[in-house]
Amino acid sequence: MSRIRPPAPVRRTAVALLLVALAAPALSACTDGSDTTRTTDAAEANARTPGKNAPAPAVTGIRKITSTTGLVLPLERQLFSDPELGLVMRAREKLIQSCMRGLDHDYTSPKPQRRVGPKTLVERRYGLADARLAADHGYHMPGRAIRPDPELPDEQYDAITGKGSPKGVPRGGCAGAAERRIAGETPFGPADIAQDLNGHSYRLSMRDRRVKEVFRSWSSCMRTAGHTYPDPMKAMSAPGFSRATTGVGEVDTAMDDVACKKKTNLIGIWYAVETAYQHQLIEQNAKKLEAVTEAKRDQLKAARKVMDSST
């Protein structure tokens, strides 16, 4: 099943085109936990998932965890880490640059920009966990704003995307040719099924009685501190804390949030429960995920070859 690409970016810039290529991987991790009552159509279509009445997986050996540093979920083997995704994207851009030169376009690749966002899949998966960041930034991510990127001329944009099927431009434009060079005819970047299962395990864990129980304990702790939220994701995504700058009371709320997580071992319990669900999903989809692991390995190998070449 081929990846359904996101809509074309409104701004016709090189950075916007990079964001389109990265949009599908990013969407799998972007959730505030509000949709916890149903599975997505994509997950149901692409993967075997437990039914509503399936028994919850057993969880043993819950550790006391006060930080998300070093935490890794089982499905990360099939997904791409930040360094891995960076490698394939750099290789993609190098191939686009070469393709554009071959078409006599004076194209300049976008300059690397400082990342703003979680450094790992788990860093903010269960909400904010770093007391220092809470004190310094509230729920906001530290980092600089993205620099404005100049608009691409129409002919360059069309050559990169293949829009309008310009003469001499490869299928899907230089971007399409670059992605095929790295991924062949398989989806470029993380496979849909890996992303679907990664999102599905999160939703399953949010519905699990053990996680709901620790949410209640956390909520009670927060109420004692003067805050009323049913779960950590509702606190982190509160409208007053979602603006460009730190909101009124945000730092105090974030610090109390982190303290209550530590007091209730929320991260330790939630991580253990989701890990169990991921093991269950991996077992149910073992054959498909073997192919995904192989495709990821092949992409990384091809990307390294591109970066080592003079192409």
Q: Does the reported pTM lie above 0.85? A: no
pLDDT tens for residues 152-161?
Answer: 899 999 999 9
pLDDT tens for residues 271-295?
Answer: 999 999 999 999 999 999 999 999 9
pLDDT tens for residues 116-138?
Answer: 678 889 999 999 999 999 999 99
**pLDDT given at position 200:** 97
* Best mean pLDDT range from 15-19, 79-83, 85-89, 217-221: 217-221
Cα distances (angstroms) measured from residue 238 to each of 35, 138, 180, 231: 16, 12, 41, 11
**What is the mean pLDDT of the segment spanning 44-50?**
60
Of the candidates 263, 209, 218, which has an alpha carbon nearest to the alpha carbon of residue 236?
A: 218
Measured CA to CA, the distance from residue 115 to residue 7 in angstroms comes to 23
Measured CA to CA, the distance from residue 12 to residue 153 in angstroms comes to 8
The H-or-E segment that residue 203 falls in is helix 192-207
Cα distances (angstroms) measured from residue 157 to each of 17, 91, 100, 152: 9, 19, 10, 6
Q: Three-class SS of residue 103?
A: coil
**What is the mean pLDDT of the segment spanning 303-311?**
91
